[in-house]
Structure 1
Amino acid sequence: MATSNDTPSSRQPPSLLARIGLAVRSFFAVLGDPESAARFLDASAGAMPAPAAPAAAEPAFKQASPDAALQLLSLLQRDARLIDFAGENLADYSDSQVGAAARLVHEGCAKVLREHFRIVPVRDEAEGSRVSLPAGFDAAAVRLTGNVVGQPPFHGSLRHRGWRVAEVRLPQLAEGHDTRVLAAAEVEL
């Protein structure tokens, strides 16, 4: 039973072990019960100070969906036998055999790229051209190399035009399709 001396300010802080137990119970209560989550939000809104404005914007991260990546890997296996090729020990084959296999893998990979993506250059200029990058250029689309000093505008020689996906045309997945099966095992009867 609580006494008048058991106010939050006069109570002894819980031990580390007790706080860990409380955190685990709270985590599952908030995760499993929307009402508990709402009560937690209400309680924490008044108890926690407002966060200070960050000096610089923190990057936001998002989890990539593995389904699209696995679907692409499956297409590359189907049309180019990429997984088979990459898993093969090439030391057992002659250069001409490896070259012949690489030609087939190359053709299959190119087919997958053509059928499922529209890929365009990041920069339109010819490689080797002189280019200027003004202040505020898209650093995610253009990587500076060489002796990078000072502030923009930067002037340099275009070594690679870069690539960007303009359109993705992956097939729709059937409900319940297991994307982790990249190529079904084959059993000949």
Structure 2
Amino acid sequence: MTDSNPSFLGRISLAVSAFFRILGDGEFAAAVLRVRDGGAAAQAQTQAPSPAPKAAPTLKEASPDAALQLLGLLQRDARFIDFVEEDIKRFSDADIGAAARLVHEGCRATLREHFTIRPVRDEAEGSRVTLQEGFDASAIRLTGNVVGRAPFVGSISHRGWRVDDVRLPKLAESHNAKVIAPAEVEL
């Protein structure tokens, strides 16, 4: 594994940590948007003339409480943080695979209990689709040789995911969301 090509588990860890940091840190979210939009803008400039610049979007401050609550639920039901924070170098692939199955099962159950998640696109991966002008660029990312303007014809390489409903438990005023898993002291 290299820094430029992290392993599958490394990418999961990176994606989850970036997800929670984006939810809890508005400045980090803005930096991610700048990197994402800057990379796309640089690619578009080399491939097609750029349209007139649009006004920068208004960023809203995200409350970290919901992200911390989800992290706590994933820890409670799947021991997610224990798994990610464990140094797995000393374990065999079979041991890691067995642990990953348990974490996967718990994470999946937690997501299904607290979110209604569905694919952005209903077509099967590999299906050919045509994207007309005005397609939702927040829900569909163009990859590959992006040249010109819509309509675009291509194949679905990932159907995407969207959340239709969130059912997180309500938090008491006194709840400290930063404590995602209390320490345990056995007597």
Same fold (TM over 0.5): yes
Q: 2:90 aligns with which of 89, 92, 97?
A: 92
What does the per-residue CA deviation read over 1:35-61, in whole Å, with 9 as the maximum and x for residues that have no partner? xxxxxxxxxxxxxxxxxxxx7332110
2:140 aligned partner: 142
What does the per-residue CA deviation read over 1:71-102, in whole Å, with 9 as the maximum and x for residues that have no partner? 00000000010110011111111111111111
**Residue correspondence of structure 1 range 18-57 to structure 2 within 5 A:** 56-57=54-55
**Residue correspondence of structure 1 range 137-176 to structure 2 within 5 A:** 137-176=135-174
1:179 aligned partner: 177
Q: Distance in 2 between matches of 1:164 and 1:86?
A: 24
In terms of fraction of residues, the more helix-rich structure is: 2
2:49 aligned partner: none
Misfit runs of 4+, over 4 Å:
none
2:81 aligned partner: 83
- Matched length: 136
1:37 aligned partner: none
Percent identity of paired positions between Structure 1 and Structure 2? 69
What does the per-residue CA deviation read over 1:100-144, in whole Å, with 9 as the maximum and x for residues that have no partner? 111110000001111000001101111111101111111110000
Q: 1:120 aligns with which of 113, 118, 122?
A: 118
Q: Distance in 1 between matches of 2:173 and 2:73?
A: 18
Q: 1:104 aligns with which of 98, 102, 109?
A: 102
What does the per-residue CA deviation read over 1:10-63, in whole Å, with 9 as the maximum and x for residues that have no partner? xxxxxxxxxxxxxxxxxxxxxxxxxxxxxxxxxxxxxxxxxxxxx733211011
TM-score, structure 2 normalization: 0.71
Provide the aligned C-alpha RMSD in A. Answer: 1.3
TM-score, structure 1 normalization: 0.70
Q: Distance in 2 between matches of 1:147 and 1:58?
A: 26
Unmatched runs of 5 consecutive residues or more in structure 1: 1-54
Unmatched runs of 5 consecutive residues or more in structure 2: 1-52
Deviation at 1:64?
1.1
1:77 aligns to what SS in structure 2? helix
Deviation at 1:178?
0.2
Query: Looking at CA atoms only, which structure, 1 or 2, has the larger radius of gyration?
Result: 1
